[in-house]
Amino acid sequence: MGYADAVRGRFITFEGAEGVGKTTQITRAAAHLRARGIEPLVTREPGGTPLAEKLRALVLEPGQGAVGATAELLIMFAARASHVTDVIRPALEAGRCVLCDRFTDATEAYQGGGRGVEPDWIRALAGIAHPGLLPDLTIVFDAPAEVARARISTRGFGEDRIEAEDTAFFERVRRAYLAIAAREPKRVQVVDATRPEAAVAASVAVLLDAVVAGMDR
């Protein structure tokens, strides 16, 4: 059961490897909800609070020197603890619909699948950073790594530290996301992100409508 079931709000996360179109789709999803009379809170990870945004810059900006897998893992969860305590839980408790660009599944996919961090460490830290909180719905946008990388290569700004990883890293990330979806088919829905934007958005709208049904407006 999603935490939000108990507190009226809805917690919806957008996941997938870099460049699959999460940011594009979260904007469209917010517009879709507004048209239904729901004003969502749109946020992102790592980030979403002043502290977490500083941690984001530290962990993603190139030129910080070496950042080992364990340091990267702990920074992601430090940012998450701040975000959950100060933004996500209060919004859910107030009955809001929270749309979050990445959450703990990203840690499982990137630090777990990509870097090989022990799954038990990730589970333990999740239990500390957000006890009892799971998304009501997670949408995994799925595309081969080459498709996603071709998209971001046209966007006109440089790569962050993790984006600079090779294609094999992003294929491991993709496989980790598909494994999460296979393990939790009720919470996690995979959407084919290789289709045109509007077609992807139509699939997302169906999933959103199902999860916000019955919310107070």
197 touches ligand Z5A by CB under 6 A: yes
Residue 168: how many CA atoms within 13 Å on its side-chain side? 2
What b/e string do you get for 71-101 counting C-beta neighbours within 10 Å, with b at 16 or more?
ebbbbbbbbbbbbbeebbbebbeeebbbbbb
Stretch that binds ligand Z5A, among 12-20, 35-43, 120-128, 129-137 (CB under 6 A): 12-20
Residue 40 has, within 13 A of its CA and on its CB side, a CA count of 25
Piece of the chain touching ligand Z5A by CB under 6 A; list 3-11, 14-22, 85-93, 127-135:
14-22
Cβ distance to ligand Z5A smaller for residue 106 or 181:
106
Residue of the chain from 22, 96, 172, 174 that contacts ligand Z5A (CB under 6 A): 22
**32, amino acid identity:** H
The stretch among 20-28, 91-99, 174-182, 204-212 that binds ligand Z5A (CB under 6 A) is: 20-28
Cis previous bond, 46, omega within 30: yes
Distance CA 186, CA 127 (A): 21
Q: Residue 96 gets which letter from DSSP?
A: P
Task: Give the residue, chosen from 58, 78, 152, 207, that forms a contact with ligand Z5A under the rule CB under 6 A.
Answer: 152
Least spacing, CB of residue 214 vs ligand Z5A, in Å:
29
Judged on CB neighbours under 10 Å (0-12, 13-18, 19+), 106 is buried
- Binding mask of the shown chain, residues 107 to 146, with x at each position contacting ligand Z5A by CB under 6 A: x--xx-----------------------------------
Kindly list the residues in this chain that would bind ligand Z5A in the complex (CB under 6 A).
16, 18-24, 45-46, 60, 76, 101-102, 106-107, 110-111, 151-152, 154-155, 162-163, 196-197, 200
